[in-house]
């Protein structure tokens, strides 16, 4: 771990793991930089809660999410990155070198910081939701929809995300039940029209999930209609929670430009933030794609930009 009083002029701290953080570590370490990656409370990020990943290049037969992240981690270590099973609990970006607090106890510094803390899916809070996560319950139709081809599924939510997920699944599934807890959707007019045009989508207004059924896999969903005060069971095999994501940016809001949704704002076409020497990669700055491959791509960008920034700083 880098000592506060002995900061390398090439030191790079990567906050967060997952595809963005590990890829940034691979590129930065391979470039000869002094790289320390702090994995955080969920090493590997959201992919560790996913079963099979079939849409990442290089895995022709698919790969389990946790195994994929273990491969990324091992490659970063093999390149020379120092990977710490620790959490950054505080930052000070007011001056360079930047100050970081590790596990509330140890202060370290770095010339460069790459933020790859990701975004966390919002969940309903039902006990069965977490128990069946990866066993029929998902927060990403693009990631997991393929496993429900020609099956009946539920999508929960009334905004643009839910509408997009439902329309995407309509190309794969036999029937989609869109559960909207109010009497109208919050999605844009264009997205609502797309939902209406899909014959496979049935929209249930004033409807909420009472329970998700099944022991080892989803076998159905019990729903409650607040308007009619009646319950029914939908015979579905998949449940997609589409009520949004929360970017993990609370540590950085005093220093970085954050948009209305809470995502770190970066210079278009780059991973640069409003503070020179601080970069952001992956889902923490991406509210659009939120895919492993795009996160890895921005992790690569952040490392390359960090290397150039350090080179220019040393030449100045």
Q: What is the assigned CATH class of domain 11-120+245-315?
A: alpha beta
Domain extent listing, the chain: 11-120+245-315, 123-241
- DSSP letters spanning 81-97: -EEES--EEEEE-SSSS
The mean per-residue pLDDT over the stretch 80-88 comes to: 96
The mean per-residue pLDDT over the stretch 223-228 comes to: 96
pLDDT digits (tens, 9 = 90+) for 23-59: 999 999 999 999 999 999 888 887 877 667 888 999 9
Same fold, 11-120+245-315 and 123-241: yes
Please determine, looking at this structure, whether the domain spanning 123-241 carries the CATH number 3.50.50.60. Answer: yes
Calculate what percentage of the chain has a pLDDT beyond 90. Answer: 78
Highest mean pLDDT among 9-13, 15-19, 142-146: 15-19
3, 34, 82, 143: which is the annotated catalytic residue?
143
- Averaged pLDDT of the chain: 92
Catalytic site residue 143? yes
- Give me the pLDDT at residue 48, please: 79
Q: Reply yes or no on whether the pLDDT at 315 is more than 80.
A: no
| Between residues 290 and 147, the one the model is more confident about | 147
71, 140, 160, 211: which is the annotated catalytic residue?
140
The mean per-residue pLDDT over the stretch 97-109 comes to: 94
144, 283, 286, 300: which is the annotated catalytic residue?
144
- Give me the pLDDT at residue 4, please: 40
- Give me the pLDDT at residue 3, please: 45
- Give me the pLDDT at residue 55, please: 86
pLDDT digits (tens, 9 = 90+) for 185-224: 998 898 899 999 999 999 999 999 999 999 999 999 999 9
């Amino acid at each position: 771990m880098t000592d506060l009083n002995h900061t390398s002029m090439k030191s790079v701290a990567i906050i967060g793991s997952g595809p963005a953080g590990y890829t940034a570590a691979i590129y930065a370490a391979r470039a000869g930089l002094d790289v320390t990656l702090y994995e955080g409370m969920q090493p590997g990020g959201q992919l560790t809660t996913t079963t099979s990943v079939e849409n990442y290049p290089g895995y022709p037969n698919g790969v389990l999410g946790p195994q994929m992240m273990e491969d990324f981690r091992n490659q970063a270590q093999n390149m020379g990155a120092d990977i710490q099973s620790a959490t950054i609990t505080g930052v000070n970006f007011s001056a360079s070198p930047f100050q970081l607090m590790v596990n509330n106890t140890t202060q370290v510094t770095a010339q460069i910081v790459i933020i790859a803390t990701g975004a966390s899916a919002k969940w309903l809070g039902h006990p069965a939701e977490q128990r069946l996560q990866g066993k029929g319950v998902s927060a990403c139709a693009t990631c997991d929809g393929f496993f429900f081809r020609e099956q009946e599924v539920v999508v929960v939510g009334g905004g643009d995300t839910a509408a997009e997920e439902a329309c995407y699944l309509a190309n794969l599934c036999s029937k989609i039940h869109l559960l909207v807890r109010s009497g109208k959707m919050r999605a844009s007019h264009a997205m609502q029209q797309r939902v209406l045009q899909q014959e496979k989508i049935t929209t249930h207004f004033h409807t909420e999930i009472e329970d998700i059924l099944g022991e080892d896999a989803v076998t159905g969903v019990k729903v409650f209609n607040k308007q009619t005060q009646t319950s029914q069971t939908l015979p579905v095999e998949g449940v997609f929670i589409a009520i949004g994501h929360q970017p993990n940016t609370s540590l950085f809001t005093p220093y970085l430009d954050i948009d209305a949704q809470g995502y770190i704002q970066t210079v278009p076409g780059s991973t640069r933030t409003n503070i020179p020497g601080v970069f952001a990669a992956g889902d923490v700055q991406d509210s659009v794609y939120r895919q492993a491959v795009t996160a890895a791509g921005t992790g690569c960008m952040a490392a390359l930009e960090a290397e150039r920034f350090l080179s220019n700083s040393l030449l100045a």
